[in-house]
């Protein structure tokens, strides 16, 4: 390999943010860090307990002291550091329901301090999307809400809090994934809003994030014809350069959403999407949620080098991208020096988060439900389980039954998916209080039908909604605004009178 080829390979490696499999860094990651790799991203598969994560990041830092260690930790339904138990903090939607920006900043600061103690330096959060479409299958409770001004003020508060805790924030999914019916993991969503609507709604939180000093912005794999009728945002120079850089004035790192996602990979190819994203103005290529091996990273690196050699990707653009990643790395080094990491998080989780989750509870009571809380005795909990989206992941537990059983002896539980729900979901509940636990009831026809049958059999049942409370039903309805462990414990405490 010639000297120029080696230089280009190092630049190409600098703009990659690959994931890997295992609870310790594999040899190829350590070798690549010595050859120019500037960043890595951690997933739930890399996390066992705080001491293990801290040791993992220390190993990475021993190879490259300024390595950017990223994670996708929204501290809500999407959690990586607490994936085995569920997040001990409320998610964005719960914080939006409370609508106390000081609380949002406090929760984000608490998270930032925990991540910094683990050696994480970049967090793919906050989710700055405005969830204006209740049918959205992938955002929902990940957003602060459906009202642009609310989302904007909490996005800014989250950015301030997280970065004050010593970790760079990354607002996502630019220019806004809230008004979609399609999950970009599977296909390309289309945002049909005109420019005036985009300015008023989708872009408002990103302007707030930039004003708050956010260090990174993550692109969404979204087709927005009002901005670019041909290319998705991740691959659009009009959107990344003209809008994000020139109009919004963002000067930090532009990170892509994972380039193996089908919204872009199916249309432009795995490597082709990465090259086009860099050419359009992206600075860092996120990869490894599904393709977490050296071969995939090498394929991207070599494709980037080849694109420079062929003239498809200007060398100046690659150099600029690598420089921005380096500037982010320098920011993280300075942040760690200014804010020495505190004690590591514990299995108990965040006391700040648990208190915040209690504030997010909302109870709607019909006349027939007056006096139904707290529950008068042992409960029979029926949990209706919808399909999960990829962002949340299959490993994170959810539900109210387990924490409620710890508070009320004799509590029993059943869980039904669409394929196995019986004609009477409350069968076996005689002599017990009934609690129906749902998640985005408004989005699932089978769940609504099941709950209707259950309430016909037991009109005294309490409904607990762990998703977006778009549909309120039952004599007593409890909305947690998220399915985190913190939300479950808050709901269980309310039901048990604790």
β-bridge mates for residue 434, sequence order: 380
> How many Cα atoms are found within 13 Å in the side-chain-facing hemisphere of 409?
0
Asked if 349 and 88 count as a contact pair (C-beta separation under 8 A), the reply is yes
β-bridge mates for residue 478, sequence order: 363, 464
Asked if 143 and 178 count as a contact pair (C-beta separation under 8 A), the reply is yes
CA 455 – CA 461 distance, rounded (Å): 6
Read off the tokens for 84: 């085995």
Count of CB atoms situated within 10 Å of the CB of 247:
12
Asked if 103 and 95 count as a contact pair (C-beta separation under 8 A), the reply is yes
Enclosing H/E stretch for 154: helix 148-164
> Alpha-carbon Rg of the chain, whole angstroms?
23
Longest dimension (CA), the chain: 79
CA 421 – CA 401 distance, rounded (Å): 17
Measured between alpha carbons, how far apart are the two ends of the chain, in Å?
68
CA distances 228 to 35, 194, 225, 243, 313, Å, are 37, 11, 5, 11, 20
| Active-site residue, selected from the candidate residues 177, 185, 442, 444 | 185
Parallel, antiparallel, or unpaired: how do β-strands 379-384 and 433-438 relate? parallel
Read off the tokens for 311: 């003239």
Parallel, antiparallel, or unpaired: how do β-strands 362-365 and 462-465 relate? unpaired
CA 18 – CA 25 distance, rounded (Å): 12
- The answer to whether residue 185 is catalytic is yes
Asked if 260 and 270 count as a contact pair (C-beta separation under 8 A), the reply is yes
Q: Is 264 exposed, middle or buried (0-12, 13-18, 19+ CB in 10 A)?
A: buried
CA 20 – CA 336 distance, rounded (Å): 24
| Active-site residue, selected from the candidate residues 72, 179, 228, 257 | 257
Q: Is 452 exposed, middle or buried (0-12, 13-18, 19+ CB in 10 A)?
A: exposed
CA 477 – CA 313 distance, rounded (Å): 55
DSSP-based helix, strand, coil % in the chain, nearest 5: 45, 15, 45
β-bridge mates for residue 17, sequence order: 286
- The answer to whether residue 257 is catalytic is yes
Active site residues: 185, 257
């Amino acid at each position: 390999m010639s000297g120029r080829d080696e230089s280009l390979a190092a630049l190409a490696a600098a703009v990659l943010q690959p994931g890997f499999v295992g609870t310790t860094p594999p040899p190829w990651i350590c070798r690549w860090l010595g050859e120019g790799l500037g960043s890595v991203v951690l997933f739930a598969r890399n996390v066992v307990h705080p001491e293990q994560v801290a040791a993992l990041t220390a190993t990475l830092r021993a190879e490259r002291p300024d390595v950017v260690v990223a994670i996708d930790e929204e501290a809500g339904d999407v959690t990586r550091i607490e994936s085995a138990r569920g997040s001990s903090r409320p998610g964005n939607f719960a914080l939006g329901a409370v609508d106390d920006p000081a609380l949002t900043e406090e929760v984000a600061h608490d998270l930032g301090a925990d991540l910094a103690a683990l050696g994480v330096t970049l967090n793919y959060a906050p989710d700055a999307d405005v969830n204006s479409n209740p049918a959205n299958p992938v955002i929902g409770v990940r957003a602060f809400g459906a009202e642009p001004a609310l989302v904007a003020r909490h996005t800014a508060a989250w950015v301030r809090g997280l970065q004050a805790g010593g970790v760079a924030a990354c607002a996502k999914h630019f220019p806004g994934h809230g008004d979609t019916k399609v999950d970009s993991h599977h296909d390309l969503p289309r945002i049909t809003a005109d420019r005036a609507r985009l300015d008023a709604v989708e872009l408002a939180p990103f302007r707030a994030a930039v004003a708050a000093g956010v260090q990174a912005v993550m692109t969404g794999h979204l087709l927005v014809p009002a901005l670019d009728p041909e290319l998705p945002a991740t691959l659009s120079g009009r959107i990344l350069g003209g809008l994000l850089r020139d109009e919004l004035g963002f000067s930090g790192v532009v990170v892509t959403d994972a380039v193996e996602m089908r919204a872009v990979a199916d249309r432009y190819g795995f490597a082709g999407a990465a090259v086009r994203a860099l050419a359009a103005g992206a600075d860092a290529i996120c990869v490894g949620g599904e393709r977490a091996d050296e071969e995939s990273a090498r394929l991207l690196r070599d494709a980037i080098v080849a694109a420079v050699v062929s003239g498809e990707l200007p060398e100046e653009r690659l150099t600029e991208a690598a420089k921005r990643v380096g500037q982010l790395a320098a920011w993280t080094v300075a942040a760690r020096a200014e804010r020495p990491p505190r004690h590591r998080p514990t299995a108990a989780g965040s006391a700040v988060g648990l208190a915040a989750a209690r504030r997010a509870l909302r109870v709607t009571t019909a006349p027939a439900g007056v006096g139904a809380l707290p529950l008068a005795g042992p409960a029979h909990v029926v949990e209706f389980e919808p399909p999960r989206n990829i962002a949340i992941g299959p490993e994170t537990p959810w539900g109210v039954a387990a924490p409620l059983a710890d508070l009320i002896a004799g509590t029993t539980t059943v869980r039904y998916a669409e394929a196995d729900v019986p004609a009477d979901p409350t069968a076996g509940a005689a002599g017990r209080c009934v609690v129906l636990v749902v998640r985005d009831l408004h989005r699932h026809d089978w769940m609504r039908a099941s709950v209707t049958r259950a309430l016909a059999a037991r009109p005294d049942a309490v409904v607990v909604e762990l998703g977006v409370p778009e549909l309120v039903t039952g004599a007593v309805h409890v909305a947690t605004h998220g399915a985190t462990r913190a939300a479950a414990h808050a709901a269980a405490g309310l039901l048990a009178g604790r």
